[in-house]
A = this chain, B = another copy of it.
Amino acid sequence: MMNNARQTQDLRSVSLADIGEADLLRLLAEVASAASNQSLVVGPGDDAAVWRSGSAVDVVLTQDAMVEDRDFRRVWITPQQIGARALHVALSDIAGMGARPAWCLATLCAPGATLLDDVLEIQRGLVAAARDTGCALAGGDVSDTAGPIVIDVAVGGTLDGGRCLRRDAGRPGDVLVVTGTMGRAAAGLRALDGAKLTASEPSRTLWKAALLAPRARIAEGLRLAEAGARCGGDISDGLAVDAARTADASGCAAEVWLDHVPVDPDLRTAFSDAWVDIALGGGDDFELLAALSPVVVGDLLRGWPTHLAPLRIVGRLVEGSGVDVLTAEGGDRVAGPVVSSRHWR
């Protein structure tokens, strides 16, 4: 009895700062499960939920918040980039489902001292990104706040022919592919943060742009789904974390083949031994990861359109659990980073 009372007391004194994001999300999802229903074909565990309206069209739903001094610092990013980034970060989950953007809703909370011009610039950036991605801005809310700027974007997308990339649809033997290049955004964060990096000016510029102006891989997600991929998602928390998430949802383990992971040559130089952490554990890349049958992957790679971000094999799903990072020599396990370094602080 006393123990129970003490445990209850202890739980009551736990604050958000004491609990990891994964544990918090799990606890919130447990509570949320009471408000799920049959209209959700895919529930909150994936990159986005899928709502079936009773008609032929499934609607993919997700929401992402950006908080000043946590997800962005105003000294590094222009107001237009803030608006565009907020939408692309939310759309990345739509891309990770293999869906087509349809609409967005955007809420902006900003202190009263914020310049009107900056607020309109944020809106202009968001609107330009919405137009670029075929997303109708359907509304939202605006509020003043005594705290940091918060931009919260809800987005909806549609699935072509019901095809969908789910986290839980992988099988042992599936090949893991990624779009683009890993670690650029994390390298950009360090470059902006004043780290002395031996890297060319073009590389630094590329890395900063990867962080400040990400583009959701929408066309790539649609192409993957069209080509028959059924398992995948976006890489928002680093390849190691997102491969583990995908493997775990699919009841598998993931092997990541380190020498196959696409990274800029300059990144290895600039970060020496830490390049693996940057490439596998750095968040905010917003590339895509998919798992698909080795039978179809050859055709997919050969037919991959050159105007899309390049697609590369980086590992596979196997029986078991967890994620192993393997070197070229084969079999040697590398202690892989599994903690994301996503936040700008």
Contact = CB atoms under 8 A, between A and B. Distances in A.
Interface of A: 11-19, 21, 24-25, 27-28, 31-32, 34-37, 39-40, 43-44, 48-49, 51, 53-57, 59, 61-65, 67, 69-71, 102-103, 105-107, 109-117, 119-120, 123-124, 126-128, 130-131, 134-148, 150, 152, 154, 156, 158
A109 to B, nearest CB: 6
Nearest to A90: B141
Copies of this protein chain in the complex:
2
A70 B142 CA distance: 12
Given A16-B111, A147-B148, A152-B152, 19 more contacts: A34-B131, A35-B126, A36-B136, A39-B103, A49-B136, A51-B156, A53-B53, A61-B138, A63-B139, A63-B140, A63-B141, A63-B152, A63-B154, A65-B109, A65-B143, A145-B150, A146-B148, A147-B147, A150-B152
Contacts of A141: 63-65, 152
Contacts of A109: 65, 67, 150, 152
B67 A143 contact: yes
A53 B57 contact: yes
Contacts of A116: 11, 14-16, 18-19, 24, 27
B48 A11 contact: no
Contact of A143 (B14, B19, B70, B130): B70
**Secondary structure type dominating chain A contacts:** mixed
A36 B134 CA distance: 9
A117 B28 CA distance: 11
Contacts of A107: 63-65, 152
A314 B51 CA distance: 39
A54 to B, nearest CB: 6
A86 to B, nearest CB: 11
Contacts of A13: 115
Nearest to A137: B35
A153 to B, nearest CB: 9
Nearest to A103: B51
Nearest to A115: B15
B105 A62 contact: yes
A336 B145 CA distance: 29
A10 to B, nearest CB: 11
A54 B102 CA distance: 11
Contact of A145 (B11, B61, B67): B67
A143 to B, nearest CB: 5
A24 B143 CA distance: 10
B158 A53 contact: yes
A144 to B, nearest CB: 6
Contacts of A124: 31
A320 B304 CA distance: 61
23 contacts: A14-B116, A15-B112, A17-B144, A24-B116, A28-B120, A28-B142, A31-B127, A34-B128, A35-B136, A35-B137, A49-B138, A49-B139, A51-B136, A53-B102, A62-B105, A63-B106, A63-B139, A65-B143, A70-B144, A70-B146, A145-B148, A147-B147, A152-B152
